[in-house]
Amino acid sequence: MATICGIDDAGRGPVIGPMVMAGIVIEEKDLPKLKQLGVKDSKLLTPQQREQIYAKLIKFVKRYKIIKIPPEEIDKAVLSEDSNLNWLEADKMVEIINALRPDQVIIDCPSNNKKAFANFLENKIKIKTSLRCEHHADRDYLIVGAGSILAKVTRDKEIELIKKKIGIDFNSGYPSDPSTKKFLKENWNKYPEIFRHSWSSYKEYSEGKKSKNQKTLVDF
């Protein structure tokens, strides 16, 4: 029976904590069951709904793989002369695909150039599989929505662990979040391991200025 895999990320934009990539594999005939489980784009679900569906998904799916990418690894890619955040995501997607070995793969493409991104993946994938790169795939394909739930729940748990460890609630970790902004301003040099140093919001304090050429969202 043919298997299908969905891959998505969570935490691409925050200045605090890891980015998480997740892929799941089910048999194609079981796709309708994802709807019965309540699967949809993780952004359309409450935290409680995501956690409930997560618990059901990891028991239901045939295989799954979750990769946590720490701030230090993100910074290394963003500051590299020959990489960026998209290439980093692509490498992790390849790792997931090679590990899960599905017959078909649908990914939520982070790059504006879907063709270039797909070509990069195809050149590194070591198995025979049918690959589809789409924008808004977490919204349009339940299998990718399921991957987005695994990624988001994992990312949220990582953020809660950081808060517990340092004893401060900075809320979401996104640069636009007022609580995160305040925390970053007061603590950027106290907990260096939790921040993405390559982000312009961090550089505003570490370098005393805003970086106008932040490379995190550079496309192919």
Q: Give the C-alpha separation, 195 to 75, whole Å.
A: 9
Q: Residue 125, exposed/middle/buried by CB under 10 A (0-12, 13-18, 19+)?
A: middle
pTM score: 0.92
pLDDT tens per residue, range 138-192: 999 999 999 999 999 999 999 999 999 999 999 999 999 999 999 999 999 999 9
Tell me the angle at which helices 71-79 and 85-100 cross, rounded to the nearest 10 degrees. 120
Q: Which letter does DSSP use for residue 123 in this model?
A: H
pLDDT of the residue at 1? 85
Which amino acid is residue 75, in one-letter code? D
DSSP string, 124-148: H--S--EEEEETTHHHH-HHHHHHH
Tell me the angle at which helices 114-124 and 85-100 cross, rounded to the nearest 10 degrees. 50
What integer best gives the mean pLDDT of the chain? 94
pLDDT of the residue at 177? 97
The structural domains of the chain, ordered by start, are 3-163 (3.30.420.10), 166-206 (1.10.10.460)
Tell me whether strands 63-69 and 104-108 are parallel, antiparallel or unpaired.
Answer: unpaired
Tally of CA atoms within 13 A in the half-sphere of 155 that contains its CB: 31
Give the dihedral sign, CA 195/157/33/23: positive
pLDDT of the residue at 208? 79
